[in-house]
Structure 1
Amino acid sequence: MNCYASIKDAAGFLSSSNYGRRFGDDAFMICDLSEAVLLLQQWMEFMPRIRPFYAMKAGPHPPLVKVLQLEGAGIDCASQKEIDTTLEMGTKPEDIIYSNPNKQISHLLHAKEKNITLTVYDGADELKKIHAHYPDARLLLRLHASGESRSGAMNDRFGANLPRARLLIKLSKELGMNTIGISFHVGSPCLDPSRYHQVIKEAREMFDFAATLGMKFEMLNIGGGFEGSLSSTDRFKQIAVSINQALDELFDENQFPKLRIISEPGRYFCDRTFTLLTNIIAKRENETNVDYTINDGVCGSYARVPFAGTEYDKFEVYPLRDDAASVRKRSRLYGPTCAGFDIVKGETFLPNLEIGDWLIWPECGSYTFAMATSFNSLWTDVFYNISTKENRGKLDRNSQQNIDFVCEDSVTTIKRIHCSTTLAFSGGI
């Protein structure tokens, strides 16, 4: 059974059985593939000129990669392993961008072997490295995204400013390399719609500069930074309007009829596609609060907790079976490891719960299991791939068939050996 009335119904059914899990109280993830398809359709409705390439680093879940590429999205990879995972899911090489500005030579050679031609650079040494090992690659020059960003470290590390970008374009021409366009990333999440307009304007300057050297750019990559949570839908639409206006103003279709515009959304496709279910494995009552220990923590799916605490990055939690009349108590939630810092929530209010009760964590997909470690050999390793009836009713028959095809392998297991992660299908419901 892969189609449920709702996520909560799926959570209730799956938590009552240990099918696909070693023990019935093991934590697990639910991946609603129909949600991901609706998000892709929303994207194409609001930004029809831009083809999304799913940044799988946000959530390297093979069924999600599979269904998105079946629905027409490309895939953004940053390593050999990610390249192999998406190729195994049937993605064509021409639908992959190797979008890491700092590539290991062996990984670059692997991309060459697999005929993945599109990649990026932001410095002279990287350009020379590509020239030495993969001279036939098609290249995008990554610009520094000027302005304030919540991901300032990304801006400090990646991208060339405009003076340096001009020098790199000249060097690319001198080396005979095939630089075909511009790439940038404003940081994630982007809460200011105007930031895209500014960097798109700078990208246009580089298109014009390249033209003075006889180079005809044909691709623009506007990167990521897009949110996918329900609460951010209005902001996503506002950002889409700003981007469309900038493209119409600076890259008019009549002037650039052959321009390909792509993007690299990651969390956009992950946030509300995944729901985490954790089990309460220990309880301790104090004078002022109740301490609960659950079987996932900051060394696992909550690895981004140290970076949370803002209005856009909080994990919400609800008891799966909630007595609305029960008095809420001040509570703390700890992860399962022996680390003192394994605190998932330092304060929340929950009804009186018992060992064995389940907690449901909606919108728990982006940068969660992707960042998990194998510390104490405790991690969430089982994913159930489903669709919900409400979402399914909004999809055409072709999309329904794509989801059904992927859901034939309805249980995905993550296996970690030491600190490495391999992904494989197993079983079916």
Structure 2
Amino acid sequence: MNTPSEVKKDLLGVAEHLRPSEPITLGPGASAWQLVLKKIKELSISGRQDAFMVADLDVLVSRHRTFLQALPRVQPFYAVKCNSNPWVLLVLAALGTGFDCASQGELEQVLGLGVAPSRIIFANPCKAVSHIQFAARCGVQLLTFDNEEELIKLARYHPRARLVLRIQTLDSQSTFPLHTKFGAHLEACGHLLQVARELGLAVVGASFHVGSDCHTPESYRQAIADCHRVFEMGCKAGHHMSLLDLGGGFPGVKGSEAKFEEVARVINTALAQYFPEETGIEVIAEPGRFYAGSVCTAAVNIIVKKSSLDPGGHRKLAYYLNEGHYGVFRLFLRDPVPRIPIVVKEFPSEPPLFPCTLYGPTCDAYDRLFSTEVQLPELDVGDWLIFPDMGAYSSSMSSTFNGFPIATVYDAMSPQLRSLLETVP
């Protein structure tokens, strides 16, 4: 087993490897949107057709302020998996958020940026032994579990951990439900808490996740009520229950503000009912989309255009893009409603719209953005499409399948944000 000094040396190496390039500082009055258009113009002049994204890091500041104002009792632990861009993590670290990590790789990245282990929750209920050992060596104490086998591993490889029992939540109304894979049934929680006690492990709280992109705020109320029952079970089993983890699922793109406010009202009411402030219970959450969703804007180029007639003789089009399902659009096929891109082209008058299929560049026939057609004007090879709200689960899920590169991300920030970061030690 590595000594503490060896672990520190390893993390310093990780930090050096992950050191991000300097972001672009926007000039007075300039915006990230203007930077997108500038990059499109530069690439068009050079004859290159490289997909790219612009990350507006100032969005993180406004989202953090909104989160704290709406949920004053809740400490955010940002879900690294959502967008692990080093500058996103650095800005959030400077703002004082904690971090939700799901693997040794994510732990290494966050610790390598100088974040204290106490600001991390290892929130994957099913972990590899080597990842548990790494967390123990680095002093990451807060870990989740949802099964007996995990408890046996933790007792052997991280006996001093502070454990959080993740319960199953009904999340069928979320775009990306998680209940079939993670979370202990409420009926099984008493047994798991007793097993933890017999193994000499300390369970300090309960957690849940209503699914990514949750559409029913009521899901939070029921989950908080269920966690209250788990707290009672934990105390009965001899555990000191002191932490409630609300998980993620918070809506996080422009236009979803009203939905988030409704979620916050439901949570605050449920907390007051089941975990009133005078109990001293620490409340955290694991927002990902809420912070990162609107940070990035993607720009893609049309590399091939095909035209055909449907059985009724109506024209339809297919556009092949330089970015697709294996790139930043990985989750688009699962979106309930296709996102209509912004067309970067001027027309003399309102153009007619055609049913269009948007394909990615790889050889996979399933490499397409949406399962249905979208209505777009007739465009040409070399034209650009812009997709806002691309900060969540885009670059972090990209691959180099078929040899296509991962889209470049241009990080941008205001002079005010740069000044803020320079004051952080």
TM-score by length of 2: 0.86
1:62 shift after superposition: 1.3
Task: Describe how 1:105-116 pairs up with structure 2 within 5 A.
Answer: 105-116=129-140
Deviations 1:183-227 (A, max 9, x none): 111112211111111111111112122223332211110101111
Q: Answer yes or no: is 1:354 the counterpart of 2:380.
A: yes
CA contact (8 A) 1:49 1:261 kept: yes
Which residue number corresponds to residue 307 of structure 1?
A: 334
The one-letter code matched in structure 2 to 1:269 is: Y
Task: Describe how 1:409-424 pairs up with structure 2 within 5 A.
Answer: none
Quick one: distance in 2 between partners of 1:77 and 1:136? 19
The one-letter code matched in structure 1 to 2:398 is: A
Quick one: distance in 1 between partners of 2:96 and 2:303? 42
1:292 shift after superposition: 1.8
Q: Answer yes or no: is 1:290 the counterpart of 2:314.
A: no
In structure 1, stretches of 5+ residues that fail to align are 407-429
The one-letter code matched in structure 2 to 1:285 is: S
Match of 1:8 among 28, 33, 36: 33
Moved over 4 A (4+): 403-406
Match of 2:419 among 387, 390, 401: 401
Quick one: distance in 1 between partners of 2:170 and 2:357? 40
Match of 2:189 among 126, 142, 165: 165
Quick one: distance in 1 between partners of 2:375 and 2:32? 22
Quick one: distance in 1 between partners of 2:152 and 2:93? 32
TM-score by length of 1: 0.86
Quick one: distance in 1 between partners of 2:208 and 2:348? 48
Deviations 1:252-285 (A, max 9, x none): 111x12x211101111122111110111222233
Which residue number corresponds to residue 122 of structure 2?
A: 98
Q: Answer yes or no: is 1:58 the counterpart of 2:82.
A: yes
Quick one: distance in 1 between partners of 2:234 and 2:366? 51
Q: Answer yes or no: is 1:265 the counterpart of 2:287.
A: yes
Which residue number corresponds to residue 412 of structure 2?
A: 386
Quick one: distance in 1 between partners of 2:269 and 2:369? 41
The one-letter code matched in structure 2 to 1:352 is: E
Distance 1:290 1:50, change over 3 A: same
Quick one: distance in 2 between partners of 1:144 and 1:34? 35
Q: CA RMSD in A?
A: 2.3
Q: Answer yes or no: is 1:213 the counterpart of 2:240.
A: no
Match of 1:191 among 212, 215, 224: 215
Quick one: distance in 2 between partners of 1:147 and 1:283? 40
1:147 shift after superposition: 6.2
The one-letter code matched in structure 2 to 1:383 is: V
1:319 shift after superposition: 1.5
Q: Answer yes or no: is 1:276 the counterpart of 2:285.
A: no
The one-letter code matched in structure 1 to 2:25 is: N
The one-letter code matched in structure 2 to 1:2 is: T
The one-letter code matched in structure 2 to 1:373 is: S
SS in structure 1 at match of 2:302: strand
How many percent of aligned residue pairs carry the same amino acid? Answer: 32
CA contact (8 A) 1:145 1:186 kept: yes
Q: Answer yes or no: is 1:76 the counterpart of 2:94.
A: no
Task: Describe how 1:310-389 pairs up with structure 2 within 5 A.
Answer: 310-311=336-337, 314-323=338-347, 325-330=349-354, 331-345=356-370, 346-387=372-413
Q: Answer yes or no: is 1:86 the counterpart of 2:110.
A: yes
Deviations 1:25-81 (A, max 9, x none): 211111111011111110000001001111111122111111111101111111111
The one-letter code matched in structure 1 to 2:284 is: I
